[in-house]
Amino acid sequence: MKKNFLISTGGSGGHVIPAKILCEHLAHQANLIISTDKRGLKYIDEKKYSVEVVDTPRIRNFLFSPFIFLKILSLTLKSIYFIRKRKIEKVFCTGGYMSIPIIFAAKILNLEIYLIEPNQVLGRANKFFLKMCKKIFCYFKRIKNFPENSQSKIINIFPLVEKNIYNPIFPLKHNKKFSILIVGGSQGAKIFDNDLKNVMVNISKKFPIRIFQQTNENNILNLKNFYKENDLENKIFNFDKNFIEIIRQTDLCITRAGASTLAELSISNIPFLAIPLPTAKDNHQFENAKFYKEEDCCWLLEQSLIGNIEEYLMKILTDKSDYFKKRENLKKLNYQNTWINVNQKILNSINEN
């Protein structure tokens, strides 16, 4: 008889997507339930997953807010009841404040707690939960701000990405144009919308290119019309469930530096120009991109220097030797990265005594 596991997530796609992938890894091991706040629901197909909504309010310092404190207390009690009712045996958390009631409840009930840290910098919520957890799965061997006395809890795994991204058979590119993907993250990026569209048009006058661009849902039509007026082939989207198929048609990506997106690009051997979000907590996006930059797998441009991006791209497209070198370095970086490798590491870790 299968056990019952709970995966706590929510907020942005950066938290929810790894939770769904973890479900795939654990599917044969247990019956799975995903708990999320209302923001995370838009990334989850409720027909495919068993979902429980625990709508944790946004938190800065709940200890100094009586309303937030009482709300967390109420949600913790609700979570205790829910966990007992569903006979949950292990709890997994992909980080974020939205998991506070679930983790508190799991600790009170003396359940095994496993954390996932996808970034180069230990997230604040995960740092808060660290003493309560049994193990923490980390994508990187060296994590900034990680307490020395908890190092033994680290289990290093390759990044959690969808199973079909490991498929080595890419669709044939019938289009001879150089394809550039622009990704602002699951929340979109206004600066990409405003600053990059004219750059793409200027580049298209010298090189045959086509554009795949993620944008805010309200901006899709405007961006489509802009590129159409400038005779630039394009596909504009918001949150695309077939994002991997878009990656497979891509030659180069301009992106924020969320851990999931960089992992998908890396495993797909797509060189990228990372422009980290400067307001990301603890500057974790910069640190994520810096790792790949030090492996000579990408280019790194700070947002304050985005005015130089046209020069960067012109240089890349004029002499592609650096581009091809980075693509080869990505292959070397991922040569041991397989779905089975990740799956066995996770299952062995949670099944050990």
In this prediction, residue 172 carries a pLDDT of: 46
How far is Cα of residue 84 from the mean position of the Cα atoms in its chain? 31
Q: CA triplet 70, 76, 78: central angle to 5 degrees?
A: 105
Q: 276, 285 in Cβ contact below 8 A?
A: yes
Q: 95, 73 in Cβ contact below 8 A?
A: no
**Helix (H, G, I), strand (E, B), or coil: what is residue 21?**
helix
What would the two tokens of residue 258 be?
A: 């969320």
Strand partners, 115: 93, 136
323 and 272 in a common domain: yes
CA distances from 52 to 79, 116, 125, 253, 264 (A): 10, 20, 20, 35, 28
69 and 210 in a common domain: no
Q: Is the dihedral of CA 305, 308, 310, 314 positive or negative?
A: negative
Q: 194, 225 in Cβ contact below 8 A?
A: no
What's the CA gap between 106 and 238, in Å, rounded? 35
The 10 Å CB-count burial string (b at 16+, else e) for 264-281 is: bbbbbbbbbbbbbbeebe
**Does the pTM exceed 0.85?**
yes
pLDDT digit string (tens) for the chain, length 353 residues: 789 999 999 988 889 999 999 999 999 999 999 999 999 998 898 889 999 999 888 776 545 577 888 888 999 999 999 999 999 999 999 988 889 999 999 999 999 999 999 999 999 999 999 999 999 999 998 899 999 999 999 999 999 999 988 875 454 455 689 999 999 865 556 788 888 999 999 999 999 999 999 998 888 999 999 999 999 999 998 876 678 889 989 999 999 999 999 999 999 999 999 999 998 888 999 999 999 999 999 999 999 998 899 999 999 999 999 999 999 999 999 999 999 999 999 999 999 86
Q: What CATH number is attached to the domain comprising 216? A: 3.40.50.2000
In this prediction, residue 221 carries a pLDDT of: 93
What's the CA gap between 140 and 137, in Å, rounded? 9
343 and 241 in a common domain: no
Domain total for the chain?
Answer: 2
Measure CA of the first residue to CA of the last residue in the chain; give whole Å.
19
320 and 187 in a common domain: yes
Give the count of alpha carbons within 13 A of 138, CB side only. 24
| Residue span of the structural domain in which 178 resides | 165-333
345 and 314 in a common domain: no
Question: What is the DSSP code (8-state) at residue 121?
Answer: B
3-class SS letters over 149-165: HHHHHEEECCCCCCHHH
Scanning the structure block, which residue is given the tokens 């989850």?
Answer: 44
Q: Which helix (H) or strand (E) holds 113?
A: strand 112-117
277 and 299 in a common domain: yes
What would the two tokens of residue 204 be?
A: 């298209």
Question: What is the DSSP code (8-state) at residue 5?
Answer: E
177 and 299 in a common domain: yes
285 and 347 in a common domain: no
Scanning the structure block, which residue is given the tokens 């980290």?
Answer: 276
CA distances from 82 to 30, 46, 77, 114 (A): 17, 18, 9, 19
